[in-house]
Amino acid sequence: MNVPTAWLQLKFYPLRLTVAVAGVCFSIFLIFMQLSFQDALFDSAVSFYEALDADIFILNSRSSALIAMENFPERRLNQALAVDNVAEVIPIYLGFAQWRNPVKKNVWRNIYLIGIEPSQSVFNIEAVEENRFKLKLPDTVLFNQTSRSEFGPIAELFRQEGEVKTEVGDRGPSNRLITVVGLFPLGASFGSDGTIITSDLNFQRILPGSRKGFINLGGIKLQDKNKLDITLAALRDYLPNDVKIFSKAEVFAFEKNYWATGSPIGFVFALGVGIGMAVGVVITYQVLYSSIAQHLSEYATLRAVGYRQRYLLGVVFQEAVFLALFAYVPGIIFAGFVTKLARDATSLPVYINVNKAIIVLLLSCLMCFISGGIAIRKLQDADPADVFY
């Protein structure tokens, strides 16, 4: 009998129920969006490492994230070859340069520049593997086709003409006229709106201020991947403390930790989830409190005929659950629509998956339970003696 009582109380005022569901729906939508952008932040941050064909990574000990990589001597990477189970080392150069939009020539954008040795297999991206030998030519690059539109319609121009020419550099006399000789899909990130890959020699030409003999990231391929932990321990014992050695899982955690705790973006998304919860709690509390206040005499009557306080509490909490469930369905539908718009506009991995849907559902129920827990204090005013006055 509890469920019909809770439902009848909610629908007794249809307009108030509609407004309440809309308010809780907005709160759920806000939580969905904040969690989706937070996951997109983390997923995009590690997409570069996921694309690298390496088992272990070496970074400068002062490096804090992929967008703030300090350089270190390349000989550290070569020293790793002396450790058992190391099959190959991969030097990688990272930096930012200015990219000139080839259509709107007065528009310059900061672009992420990756330098590799073209003779080495560095990425697990088929398009890079097919075109990396073209990078042996001077002033040639591969362009990330999922880069933002502010860099120009590069993918469209390349498919039409077979190549695209523009300037890259520091917007000064040292600018290089480069040629896009291929496209690859990598995805955008919060740290960079666009990416190009070039050879190590072209990297030095584009960024002449970079130190020769110093790299920003080192990749290591293993002969036997099952001996990963042993090799990691051996490398950490053998190499000096001016570098940090990570497995792929560890470098994922390292990068995510920076964005979660070392960057204001991670804090803002976490705060957004908290604000969404707070909004939902306030709205649900107001609805439940009003419902209790308007039916206080009925609650007192139930107490007078023998119903215990536990029953009344159950009715209130069931109302809270109904509100959470009624608002959840339109909330997830609206969030799915908006995340698709955001994904198409930004090329960021903004998705709603099953795990996220379950988490938000649980948060929605928790949010409404908290509201119910606060609102039930009003039930103390339901005195059975009032029925006889």
For residues 193, 198, 202, 206, the Cα torsion angle rounded to the nearest 10 degrees is: 0
Return the pLDDT at 384: 61
Whether 152 contacts 166, CB under 8 Å: yes
| Pick from 13-27, 35-49, 77-91, 282-296: least confident | 282-296
At residue 307, φ and ψ (nearest 5 deg) are -70, 135
**pLDDT at residue 375 tops 90:** no
Distance set, CA 343 to CA 46, 67, 148 (Å): 17, 22, 12
**pLDDT at residue 3 tops 70:** no
Return the pLDDT at 379: 66
Return the pLDDT at 297: 73
User: Which H/E stretch holds residue 182?
Assistant: strand 176-184
Q: Record the pTM.
A: 0.80
pLDDT tens digits, 186-199: 877 777 788 999 99
At residue 220, φ and ψ (nearest 5 deg) are -130, 130
Q: What percent of the chain has pLDDT over 90?
A: 46
Say how many CA atoms lie within 13 Å of 343 toward its Cβ: 15
pLDDT tens digits, 206-257: 988 888 889 999 999 999 999 999 999 999 999 999 999 999 999 999 998 8
Distance CA 381, CA 295 (A): 11
Query: How remote is the C-alpha of 277 from its chain's centroid?
Result: 20
